[in-house]
């Protein structure tokens, strides 16, 4: 969740000072401390039996003392709240709201989870424990870590779900609602925040360039824990979270507004070090977290890595990491690939979002160019699957790839790899190749092949492009740091014996069907197609799809599921309508466009390139959705509006309450909106840029215009 004061679990704003920024799984600065007698509770029932007592006495213990959480002049402790303790944690809760959910079972489960994950972080990830203050001026006696259960009637903790922070004395603590406290993926994430704060007195401090990485790091802590043998042996059921937000944004510099929690695979690469690069490996992340420079608040994450590990060039690090992401070649490779397969199967992810589909360069054989909107930013990358052409009678072929950069920008650089995955799921890698260089790899029948291309300009260029979250910090707002200011690195690939795999969907050999009388295309017997409809020889109408009136299904287009095509609608290229999609009027789907779910494209609207329209979205008028854009939820696009680039627009509660773009509104670049704004004029990019401009910064990037928002005139 992005920084937003409304997400704080407090009635009043807690101070945010030199200790850090609020994370929502969050990192916030509170105030206060109280010293109480050292206690140890091993019997959950004894603490629950006294829940209505304001003070509970336990036998003294000489392991760790307990203390309260002080927020300015307000103290929460065992003296004014219920409490339960484990060896390293004190859990505090009140007597109101959701306190009935604080059961003996919840406390026991949470206590075990907290202890187990903390032990893993200290023993296996080599982290310093978060028992002492991160302020050198404070009392650094070791204390148990406080966990406040929110929504149980405690003043200042009435609302919220999952946070981590430090109080005024610099002691890390956690704040979680009952539901969050029993979640075995949320608890390790929040504890990861607390552990990070404890590394070398929170050496990352308030650096706005490192701030977004706090969420990445916390997710990395969680991922390491839930994939560990310790977790599995304890009966944990959590699974790795390789999520669509990150894989949709691979070409953008990490971290970016739409994927900062999810950027943990890069951190995992540094710690796991599958390529045995000098300076990385087990314990590297602990070293990185202890090596921040509070005196340099301008240092980016990439600069920090380069300073901590000068043994390996950062270009090699990013290039090799991108290559491993082609097949998710890490220790948990099998789990990651299974998860991606599930996402693709259930429609949460589409192949043209995960992979980059290159465009054929007209008039030049075997030459392909990255689409402009997918040209990688600094440290961004593309994964291109290949269709290998093995000559008849042979079982292998030598594939050749040549990369050519298409920009003369200072210090422009690319690092690419040709990756082959054999029949046993083992990946092998070519040597790295850059602009003007060629590689070759022998590929055997049944093997899969990919090319990864990472943008690896010099560290100084990366420093000029370093990212914060534009909806958190006005320094990085779309007005102050527009999308156009972030350089991109386009390129072409020349291929021999292979071409980009565009993944056409084949016909199940068991499908019963016939050739349509008007055009000769394949129509499943279960589908309905009017005689007046044109279905081209390579086009297909499958499942229970209905195509009526004067619709045309041309080229290699596909209609399947329960989709309905009518009027003068056209599908061309490799376009596909599926689910319960409705295409009507003179609407046109072209290239590799996909319309899915209950989405409707009507009138003269056009969906093209690699764009996706899904869920209950409605595209009408003479509007366009193009390039690699995604329109979902109940979002509407009408009039002459254009959604393009890598825009993601979605959300809304119903057909009556949703966001939309109309008039002459245009979204492009990395635009993101799921908050229900209506755009009526002008061009917008950026992550949550409308909300940040209108509600947070009031900087005039977007201005109120009638019933919607327009882009303010550029001076």
For the segment 42-100, what is each residue's pLDDT rounded down to a tens digit?
A: 333 233 333 333 333 333 344 689 999 998 888 999 999 999 999 999 999 999 999 99
Is the CB of residue 524 less than 8 Å from the CB of residue 541?
yes
Is the CB of residue 596 less than 8 Å from the CB of residue 613?
yes
pLDDT of residue 506: 59
Q: How far apart are CA 693 and CA 704, in angstroms?
A: 11
Q: How far apart are CA 232 and CA 238, in angstroms?
A: 9
pLDDT of residue 509: 64
pLDDT of residue 13: 26
Give the H/E segment covering residue 245.
helix 244-247
Residue with tokens 């608890």: 187
Residue 232 contacts by C-beta under 8 Å, 6 or more apart in sequence?
Answer: none
3-class DSSP state for residue 577? strand
Residue 34 contacts by C-beta under 8 Å, 6 or more apart in sequence?
Answer: 67, 68, 70, 75, 77, 79
Q: How far apart are CA 582 and CA 585, in angstroms?
A: 10
Neighbours of 363 (CB within 10 A): 6
Q: How far apart are CA 388 and CA 399, in angstroms?
A: 8
Neighbours of 684 (CB within 10 A): 26
pLDDT of residue 43: 31
DSSP 8-state code for residue 330: S
Is the CB of residue 256 less than 8 Å from the CB of residue 670?
yes
Q: How far apart are CA 554 and CA 556, in angstroms?
A: 6
Q: How far apart are CA 254 and CA 322, in angstroms?
A: 12
Q: How far apart are CA 213 and CA 262, in angstroms?
A: 10
Q: How far apart are CA 344 and CA 195, in angstroms?
A: 35
**The two three-digit tokens of residue 504, written as one number:** 């056409």
Is the CB of residue 519 less than 8 Å from the CB of residue 705?
no
Q: How far apart are CA 696 and CA 714, in angstroms?
A: 20
Q: Output the CA torsion 544→548→551→553 (10° steps).
A: 30
Q: How far apart are CA 470 and CA 260, in angstroms?
A: 12
Q: How far apart are CA 611 and CA 35, in angstroms?
A: 59
Q: Count Cβ neighbours within 10 Å for each residue of 123-153 and write b for 16 or more, e otherwise.
A: eebebbbbbbbbbeeeebeebbbbbbbbbbb
Q: Count Cβ neighbours within 10 Å for each residue of 32-56 and write b for 16 or more, e otherwise.
A: bbbebebbbbeebeebbeebeeeeb
Is the CB of residue 89 less than 8 Å from the CB of residue 115?
yes
**The two three-digit tokens of residue 121, written as one number:** 């972080």
200-238 per-position pLDDT tens digit: 989 998 899 999 999 999 999 999 999 998 898 888 888
Neighbours of 112 (CB within 10 A): 13
Name the β-bridge partners of 564. 546, 582
Give residue limits of the domains in the chain: 5-206, 244-348, 352-500, 528-711
Q: How far apart are CA 140 and CA 138, in angstroms?
A: 6
DSSP 8-state code for residue 123: H
Name the β-bridge partners of 522. 515, 540
- HSE-CB at 392 with a 13 A cutoff on CA atoms is 0
Lateral strand order in the sheet of 414-421: 427-429, 414-421, 448-455, 381-388, 498-500
3-class DSSP state for residue 14? coil
Give the H/E segment covering residue 535.
strand 534-535
Alpha-helical (H) ranges within 346-404 are 351-354
CATH of 528-711, one of 3.40.50, 2.40.50, 2.160.10, 1.20.1070: 2.160.10
DSSP 8-state code for residue 425: S
> φ and ψ at 115, to 5 degrees?
-65, -45
Residue with tokens 């009678």: 393
Residue 355 contacts by C-beta under 8 Å, 6 or more apart in sequence?
Answer: 383, 384, 385
Length of the chain: 715
**The two three-digit tokens of residue 347, written as one number:** 């429609």
**The two three-digit tokens of residue 707, written as one number:** 């019933």
DSSP string, 244-313: HHHHTTTTSPSSBTTBSGGGHHHHHHHHH-TT--TT-STTHHHHHHT---TT-TT--HHHHHHHH-TTS-
**The two three-digit tokens of residue 343, written as one number:** 């996402």
pLDDT of residue 711: 93
Q: Which candidate, 447, 397, 398, places its Cα nearest to that of 422?
A: 447
Domain 352-500, CATH homologous superfamily name and number: Mitogen Ypm (2.60.120.510)
Q: What is the CA radius of gyration of the chain?
A: 28
Q: How far apart are CA 569 and CA 588, in angstroms?
A: 6
Q: Which candidate, 425, 452, 453, 429, places its Cα nearest to that of 441?
A: 429
User: In the chain, what is the straight-line distance between the N-terminal and C-terminal CA atoms, in Å?
Assistant: 32
pTM of the model: 0.91
Q: Which candidate, 531, 235, 492, places its Cα nearest to that of 384?
A: 492
Give the H/E segment covering residue 588.
strand 588-589
Is the CB of residue 209 less than 8 Å from the CB of residue 476?
no
Q: At what angle do helices 301-308 and 314-325 cross, to 10 degrees?
A: 110
DSSP string, 72-103: TTEEESTTTSEEEE-SSEEEEE-SSTTGGG--
Is the CB of residue 629 less than 8 Å from the CB of residue 648?
yes
Residues of the chain with pLDDT under 50: 1-62, 714-715
């Amino acid at each position: 969740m992005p920084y937003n004061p409304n997400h704080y679990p407090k009635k009043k704003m807690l101070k945010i000072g030199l200790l850090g920024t609020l994370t929502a799984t969050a990192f916030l600065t509170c105030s206060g401390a109280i010293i109480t007698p050292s206690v140890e509770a091993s019997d959950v029932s004894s603490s629950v039996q006294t829940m209505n007592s304001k003070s509970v006495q336990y036998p003294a213990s000489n392991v760790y003392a307990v203390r309260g959480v002080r927020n300015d002049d307000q103290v929460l402790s065992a003296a004014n709240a219920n409490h339960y303790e484990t060896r390293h944690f004190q859990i505090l809760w009140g007597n109101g709201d959701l306190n009935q959910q604080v059961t003996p079972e919840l406390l026991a489960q949470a206590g075990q989870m907290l202890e187990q994950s903390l032990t893993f972080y200290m023993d296996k990830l080599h982290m310093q424990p978060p028992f002492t203050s991160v302020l050198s001026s404070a009392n650094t006696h070791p204390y148990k870590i406080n966990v406040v259960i929110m929504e149980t009637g405690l003043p200042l903790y009435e609302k919220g779900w999952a946070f981590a922070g430090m109080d005024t004395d610099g002691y890390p603590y956690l704040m979680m609602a009952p539901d969050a406290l029993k979640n075995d993926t949320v608890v390790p994430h929040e504890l990861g925040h607390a552990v990070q704060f404890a590394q070398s007195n929170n050496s990352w401090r308030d650096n706005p360039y490192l701030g977004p990485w706090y969420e990445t790091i916390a997710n990395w802590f969680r991922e390491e824990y839930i994939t560990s043998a310790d977790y599995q042996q304890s009966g944990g059921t959590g699974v790795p979270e390789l999520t669509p937000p990150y894989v949709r944004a691979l070409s953008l510099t990490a971290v970016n507004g739409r994927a900062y929690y999810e950027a943990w695979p890069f951190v995992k690469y540094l710690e796991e070090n599958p390529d045995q690069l000098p300076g990385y490996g087990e314990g590297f992340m602990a070293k990185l977290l202890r090596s921040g420079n509070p005196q340099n608040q301008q240092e980016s994450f990439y600069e920090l890595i380069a300073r901590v590990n000068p043994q390996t060039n950062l270009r090699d690090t990013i290039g090799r990491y991108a290559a491993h992401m082609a097949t998710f070649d890490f220790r948990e490779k099998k789990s990651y690939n299974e998860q991606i397969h599930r996402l693709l199967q259930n429609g949460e992810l589409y192949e043209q979002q995960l992979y980059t589909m290159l465009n054929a360069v007209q008039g030049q054989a075997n030459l392909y160019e990255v689409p402009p909107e997918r040209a990688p930013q600094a440290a961004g990358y593309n994964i291109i699957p290949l269709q290998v052409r093995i000559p008849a009678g042979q079982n292998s072929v030598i594939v050749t790839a040549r990369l050519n950069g298409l920009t003369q920008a200072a210090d422009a650089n690319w690092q690419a790899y040709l990756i082959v995955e054999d029949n046993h799921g083992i990946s092998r890698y070519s040597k790295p190749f850059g602009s003007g260089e060629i590689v070759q790899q022998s590929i055997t029948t049944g093997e899969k092949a990919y090319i990864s291309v990472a943008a690896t300009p010099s560290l100084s260029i990366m420093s000029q492009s370093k990212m914060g979250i534009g909806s958190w910090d006005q320094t990085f707002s779309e007005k102050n740091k527009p999308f156009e200011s972030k350089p991109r690195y386009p390129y072409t690939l020349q291929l021999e014996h292979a071409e980009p795999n565009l993944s056409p969907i084949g016909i199940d050999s068991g499908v019963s069907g016939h050739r349509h009388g008007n055009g000769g295309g394949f129509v499943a017997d279960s589908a309905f197609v009017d005689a007046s409809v044109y279905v081209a020889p390579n086009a297909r109408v499958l499942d229970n799809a209905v195509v009526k009136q004067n619709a045309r299904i041309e080229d290699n287009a596909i209609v399947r599921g329960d989709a309905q095509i009518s009027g003068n609608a056209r599908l061309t290229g490799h376009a596909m309508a599926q689910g319960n999609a409705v295409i009507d009027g003179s609407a046109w789907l072209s290239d590799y466009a996909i319309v899915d779910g209950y989405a409707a494209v009507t009138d003269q609207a056009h969906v093209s390139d690699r764009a996706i329209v899904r869920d209950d979205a409605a595209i009408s008028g003479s509007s366009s959705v193009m390039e690699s854009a995604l329109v979902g939820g109940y979002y509407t696009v009408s009039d002459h509006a254009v959604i393009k680039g890598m825009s993601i627009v979605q959300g809304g509660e119903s057909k009556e309450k949703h966001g939309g773009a109309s008039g002459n509104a245009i979204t492009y670049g990395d635009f993101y909106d799921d908050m229900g704004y209506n755009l009526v004029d002008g061009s917008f990019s950026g992550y949550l840029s409308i909300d940040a401009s209108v509600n947070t910064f009031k900087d005039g990037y977007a201005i109120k215009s009638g019933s919607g928002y327009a882009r303010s005139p550029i001076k």
